[in-house]
Amino acid sequence: MRSLLGWLGVLGGILSVEGRAQTNPGESHGRWAVGISRSVSSLSPGSVGPSEDGVEIAWAPDRPSLWGLAAGYGTRMRVSITARFGKAGLGARGETSEETGASGRVLIVSEGVYDVLTVGVTVSRHVLRLRGGPALRSSLGAGIESWSALGESPRTIAGLQGGLALDVAIVGPFLAALEGELGFTPASPFKREEMPANYRLRSTWRRTLGGAIYWRF
């Protein structure tokens, strides 16, 4: 994610000299936009605690892979609502115990444990642009996430999100975007009853990388 944001910053700096004096490409295609996206996320641990043998174990949702639908209004400034849905696994990391005669890190991953649904509202703005070329857009917003494990009732949490996107006009009213996003939820995606009593629930950070295709009208 850091390399992506760094590359976007360099590209934006190159384009800014001429871009600030240009109009936004695609404004003639209308103020409304609808699109479809595909994204993959990485989350920080949502629960940490000791195992029976004293090893510190950190649990986290593993690589949520989501499809998304989005609708937005605006050109230079845009208000958007996005719904994403898909599956996430469950991962555990920890240091092996020296008492067992082993050392190093252990990793356990289960696939497709959670059904995930997120709904977010963001406000974005083109900050760097070049006529006929790509445009860099920043965004800030809030969202709600629903995590449901193996048919259980969902765990719903709210948080904030912000990001950068590189918009590139392709054919006619169609626009492609490479999107990077950082999100934060003060609550864990895990339920208290899902974890042992001696485990601590933690707030989570989410890093997301995705691509999208939009139709402007």
Per-residue pLDDT reduced to its tens digit, 86-107: 999 999 988 655 554 445 577 8
- Is it the case that residue 58 has pLDDT exceeding 60? yes
Residue 175's contacts (CB-CB under 8 Å, 6 or more residues apart) are 26, 33, 35, 167, 168, 169, 213, 214, 215, 216
Average pLDDT in the 131-137 region?
83
pLDDT tens profile 107-119: 888 999 999 999 9
Residue 188 has pLDDT above 90, yes or no: yes
Note if the pTM is more than 0.85. no
Of 166, 171, 147, nearest in space to 211 by CA? 166
CATH class of the domain at 2-216: mainly beta
The full set of domain ranges for the chain reads: 2-216
Confidence band of 29 (pLDDT split at 50, 70, 90): low
Dig out the tokens for 56 from the structure.
Answer: 């510190």
